[in-house]
Amino acid sequence: MVSCNFKAIEKKWQKKWEQEKVFEADVQKKGKKFYVMEMFPYPSALGLHLGHTLNYTIGDILARFKRMRGFNVLYPMGFDALGLPAENAAIKAGAHPKTYTAQAIKNYIKQMKNLGLSYDWSKLVNSMEPEYYKWNQLFFLKFLERGLAYRKKAAVNWCPKCNTVLANEQVVKGCCWRHENTEVEIKHLEQWFLKITNYADELLDCIDDLQWPQKIKIMQKNWIGKSYGTEIDFEVNGKKFPVFTTRPDTIYGVTFMVISAQHEKLMELVTKEQKKDVEKFLKKIKSVSEKDAVDLEKEGVFTGSYASNPATNEKVPIWVGNFVVADYGSGMVMAVPAHDQRDFDFAKKYGLNIKEVISGGDIKKNAYTSDGKLINSEKFNGLPSEKAKEEIAKFLEKKNLGRKAIQFKMRDWLISRQRYWGTPIPVIYCDKCKIVPVPEKDLPIKLPEKVTFGKGNPLATNEKFVNVKCPNCRGGARRETDTMDTFVDSSWYFMRYPDNKNSEKPFDKKIEEYWLPVDQYIGGIEHATMHLLYSRFWTKALRDLGYVNYDEPFTRLFNQGMLHGEDREKMSKSKGNVILPEVVSEKYGIDTARFFLMSLAAPDKPRDWSDKGVQGSLKFINKIMNYFDEVKIGKSNRKTESKLNKTIKEVSEQIENFQYNLATIKLRELFNSFGEEESKDVLEKSLKLLHPFCPHITEELWEKIGNKTLITSEKWPICDEKKIDEKFEKQEQAVEKLKSDIEQIKKLTGKQNPKVYVYVLPNEKGFYSEVKSIKIFAVNDKKKYDPENKSKKAKPNRPSIFIE
């Protein structure tokens, strides 16, 4: 049932908006600014699905609302165009990643325009353009100068499917974040890192001030993972091995040590006798990050070496285990099986000693992890745990065998990728001069077009790219062939939008000062410990380099809820339940789809698409369209004026607070309350309220009632409190209540087509008369039909009901 030609209406207004450049932000303008954006997508040939529509409509409604409220709004869009998915898809499709991605972007832009999204396309940022990634390279050089970028050999996570290393953040339960069934392998490689750990404290301290969802804040806090403890020196083969612990009070209960399977110096500890066992073990285990280590089946094997406990001078065996992270502390932990469940399980499994040093538990069954009094701990016996922690730390410190220490779980950010479709790292290796930064004047180092895929690192296959002269000594040298993790691109793209065409600098300082930080950022929770953490780090690093003058990039963050398919499952190509916005637009019009998506649930809650459900929204939209065909423009009564002003007040607050679903209810009620005749003012204001949700049809109707301007550039209506008549509002609530009570009673009695009698106070008879198919009596009506004497129960605004 499509009674309107929605498509023609949509095209007409999209063209007008574009012609009149109504969504272009004035970067030079003064006054109140509002910077709102969604996370930019990576363009795939699959195009946008309805989940994107939901996400972007949330931002679009806010952007349109703020513009009408008089803000200078910047609402840009861009493309996270570099990266592995594009490279892989291109190879599969036999196309060059550049051609493939450019095509996908073209399609995305077309789709986004069809959705009626009010982006300022003149601010487009596309990370595959050398004009963009040039600045990644510049920032990298600045970081290098400052010691924020460095190269080191490290045990790194390698995904055999991606054919590249991954950052710790990209390893999920021992598998690749892109390939959930592909176990990550460990390789020891020379790689580039960014020193995000320099900012660990600040990244942690600033979290509380952010207006972000609590869940994300907690995830970041846990990821950064600050803990206070003691570093204790154990002696291994005559060398000191500092080991971090938060429980120095259990030092006398250490019965073995566990070294990480990824430890650089592991093989130095493995004796001849144990070599075979250890090698066999290493082959079968996966890589772990700290957050995965918790749910992992603990496994290990003896190295053949021993460590000496500085408190007791006892020798304890060193095992290699799969649950110790290589670069947490020194990559070795002390095991206290009596007081740590993980160590307890491990000791039981391999028949290792368990020594109780804190009283209070029953260590035959489980580790006792609470506090208690020390036992079996020589001169510290009898001390409570908390006190013992201090005393033992002091004792070790005095003997120079330990010291107070702070430990973070977060590691430095590994940014080298052995792949093609990323920003080339601007570094040259010379035998004489070692690592030589590319001079700034030679930027950008562009990606060469011609490379061979599938034979190791693609950039290494282009001789002309690789073989260069050393900028320092002019001798023969080699260019770095790794590219940057594409999370570098997304770490600062929001700074580039306002000044996206600047060819002299990443951005102009004045423009940046006006627009940044982003007032409202919208995106998925899956970026909690990657993009959202990296961007915070980047902002702080650029601040210290003098590029920006704020501490945090995103003042407010909103996580949208997931849109599920008709089958209540997450939309995915393999399940065949992906809904395309084109199909929905064709059937119902995009305004109907937008209105329906927003009415389903609060924007941060999950929701299911339903073809049946959308019919309700379509009926509503059609009803409005038909209403404006027939309405007599004249005067509105006091009741409608009251309702309108109340709705202005409520909808304004609801949009501001992301309660879009509540706003759609209020908008329905408003339009449904209209009579045959209404004033132009009432109709205009109502259309303005509906505009952010249904931008196309409201433009059409705005024109239809005689306006020459664009509604999208109009001022948002202001609530006239004087016109709100609380008596009307209360009456209306009472009528709604009566209707639902009657429905309830009908359901309970189970009667088909019952007769309904309602008894009301005499002065209320008038306004209840709009309730259909009931018989109303005033309680003092002598001729009323009232066999059960229900009329006695009626109270002000609370009629009583009789059904037979």
CB 221 within 8 A of CB 408: no
The piece of 39-47, 358-366, 431-439, 510-518 that touches Zn ion (CB under 5 A) is 431-439
Q: Please report how many Cα atoms fall inside a 13 Å half-sphere around the Cα of residue 375, on the Cβ side.
A: 11
Q: How far is the CB of 177 from Zn ion (least distance, A)?
A: 7
Residues 135-164 that bind Zn ion (CB under 5 A): 159, 161-162
Among 7, 173, 178, 217, binds Zn ion (CB under 5 A): 178
Q: Is 173 in the site for Zn ion (CB under 5 A)?
A: no
Contacts of 675 (CB under 8 A, 6+ apart): 636, 637, 640
Cα dihedral sign, 11-13-15-21: negative
Closest CA to 537 of 207, 97, 47: 207
- 6-19 and 695-704 helices, crossing angle to 10°: 90
When the beta carbons of 472 and 615 are compared against Zn ion, the nearer one is 472
Residue 269 CB burial class (10 angstroms; 0-12, 13-18, ≥19): buried
The structure tokens 């260019």 sit at 479
When the beta carbons of 85 and 130 are compared against Zn ion, the nearer one is 85
When the beta carbons of 81 and 165 are compared against Zn ion, the nearer one is 165
Among 146, 349, 432, 730, binds Zn ion (CB under 5 A): 432
The piece of 102-110, 138-146, 464-472, 674-682 that touches Zn ion (CB under 5 A) is 464-472
Closest CA to 492 of 426, 542, 556: 542
Q: How far is the CB of 473 from Zn ion (least distance, A)?
A: 3
Bridge partners of residue 245, in order along the sequence? 230
Q: How far is the CB of 426 from Zn ion (least distance, A)?
A: 16
CB 561 within 8 A of CB 601: yes
Residues 621-680 that bind Zn ion (CB under 5 A): none
The piece of 67-75, 355-363, 462-470, 571-579 that touches Zn ion (CB under 5 A) is 462-470
Buried b (16+ CB within 10 A) or exposed e, 237-260: eeeebebbbebbbbbbbbbbbbbb
- 590-600 and 6-19 helices, crossing angle to 10°: 90
Distance CA 667, CA 680 (A): 17
CA angle in degrees (0–180, nearest 5) for 786-788-791: 55
Q: How far is the CB of 172 from Zn ion (least distance, A)?
A: 11
The piece of 423-431, 481-489, 672-680, 780-788 that touches Zn ion (CB under 5 A) is 423-431
Residues 568-627 that bind Zn ion (CB under 5 A): none
When the beta carbons of 144 and 683 are compared against Zn ion, the nearer one is 144
Q: How far is the CB of 529 from Zn ion (least distance, A)?
A: 18
Q: How far is the CB of 87 from Zn ion (least distance, A)?
A: 12
The piece of 192-200, 424-432, 629-637, 646-654 that touches Zn ion (CB under 5 A) is 424-432
The piece of 422-430, 573-581, 582-590, 648-656 that touches Zn ion (CB under 5 A) is 422-430
When the beta carbons of 430 and 690 are compared against Zn ion, the nearer one is 430
Q: Is 435 in the site for Zn ion (CB under 5 A)?
A: no
When the beta carbons of 219 and 436 are compared against Zn ion, the nearer one is 436
The piece of 30-38, 344-352, 433-441, 545-553 that touches Zn ion (CB under 5 A) is 433-441
Q: How far is the CB of 91 from Zn ion (least distance, A)?
A: 14
Q: Is 179 in the site for Zn ion (CB under 5 A)?
A: yes
Q: How far is the CB of 537 from Zn ion (least distance, A)?
A: 24
The structure tokens 């498509």 sit at 7
Q: How far is the CB of 532 from Zn ion (least distance, A)?
A: 21
Q: Is 473 in the site for Zn ion (CB under 5 A)?
A: yes
Distance CA 508, CA 494 (A): 13
Distance CA 530, CA 553 (A): 14
The piece of 122-130, 169-177, 568-576, 692-700 that touches Zn ion (CB under 5 A) is 169-177
When the beta carbons of 355 and 531 are compared against Zn ion, the nearer one is 531
The piece of 472-480, 502-510, 687-695, 701-709 that touches Zn ion (CB under 5 A) is 472-480
Q: Which helix (H) or strand (E) holds 736?
A: helix 726-749
Kindly give the residue spans of alpha helices, DSSP state H, lying in 530-580.
531-544
Q: Is 470 in the site for Zn ion (CB under 5 A)?
A: yes
Task: Find the Cα–Cα–Cα–Cα dihedral 589, 592, 594, 598, rounded to 10°.
Answer: -170
The piece of 34-42, 175-183, 188-196, 768-776 that touches Zn ion (CB under 5 A) is 175-183
Q: How far is the CB of 155 from Zn ion (least distance, A)?
A: 18
Closest CA to 178 of 530, 483, 452: 530
CB 343 within 8 A of CB 293: no
Q: How far is the CB of 454 from Zn ion (least distance, A)?
A: 16
Q: How far is the CB of 160 from Zn ion (least distance, A)?
A: 8
Q: Is 433 in the site for Zn ion (CB under 5 A)?
A: yes
Closest CA to 799 of 756, 755, 759, 746: 759
The piece of 473-481, 500-508, 577-585, 643-651 that touches Zn ion (CB under 5 A) is 473-481
Contacts of 663 (CB under 8 A, 6+ apart): 598, 650, 651, 654, 655, 693
When the beta carbons of 158 and 521 are compared against Zn ion, the nearer one is 158
Q: How far is the CB of 476 from Zn ion (least distance, A)?
A: 9
Among 472, 610, 637, 661, binds Zn ion (CB under 5 A): 472
When the beta carbons of 403 and 432 are compared against Zn ion, the nearer one is 432
Residues 373-412 that bind Zn ion (CB under 5 A): none
Backbone angles phi, psi at 198, to 5 degrees: -60, -25
Contacts of 558 (CB under 8 A, 6+ apart): 58, 213, 520, 521, 522, 523, 603, 604, 658
Q: How far is the CB of 475 from Zn ion (least distance, A)?
A: 5
When the beta carbons of 90 and 324 are compared against Zn ion, the nearer one is 90
Q: How far is the CB of 484 from Zn ion (least distance, A)?
A: 17
When the beta carbons of 178 and 784 are compared against Zn ion, the nearer one is 178
Residues 247-266 that bind Zn ion (CB under 5 A): none
When the beta carbons of 70 and 475 are compared against Zn ion, the nearer one is 475
Distance CA 163, CA 161 (A): 5
**Eight-class DSSP state of 498:** G
Cα dihedral sign, 335-337-340-345: positive
Q: Is 218 in the site for Zn ion (CB under 5 A)?
A: no
The contact pattern for Zn ion, residues 483-522, with x = CB under 5 A and - = no contact, is: ----------------------------------------
Q: Dump strand ranges (E) for 130-215.
A: 149-159, 164-166, 171-172, 175-176, 185-194
Q: Which helix (H) or strand (E) holds 411?
A: none
Q: How far is the CB of 84 from Zn ion (least distance, A)?
A: 8
CB 282 within 8 A of CB 259: no
Q: How far is the CB of 17 from Zn ion (least distance, A)?
A: 41
When the beta carbons of 436 and 745 are compared against Zn ion, the nearer one is 436
When the beta carbons of 468 and 548 are compared against Zn ion, the nearer one is 468
Number of shown-chain residues binding Zn ion (CB under 5 A): 12
Contacts of 70 (CB under 8 A, 6+ apart): 32, 715, 716
The piece of 19-27, 116-124, 469-477, 661-669 that touches Zn ion (CB under 5 A) is 469-477
The piece of 426-434, 515-523, 536-544, 646-654 that touches Zn ion (CB under 5 A) is 426-434
- C-alpha R_g of the chain: 34
CA distances, 294 to each of 227, 289, 406 (Å):
17, 9, 21
- Give contact residues for Zn ion (rule: CB under 5 A): 159, 161-162, 176, 178-179, 430, 432-433, 470, 472-473
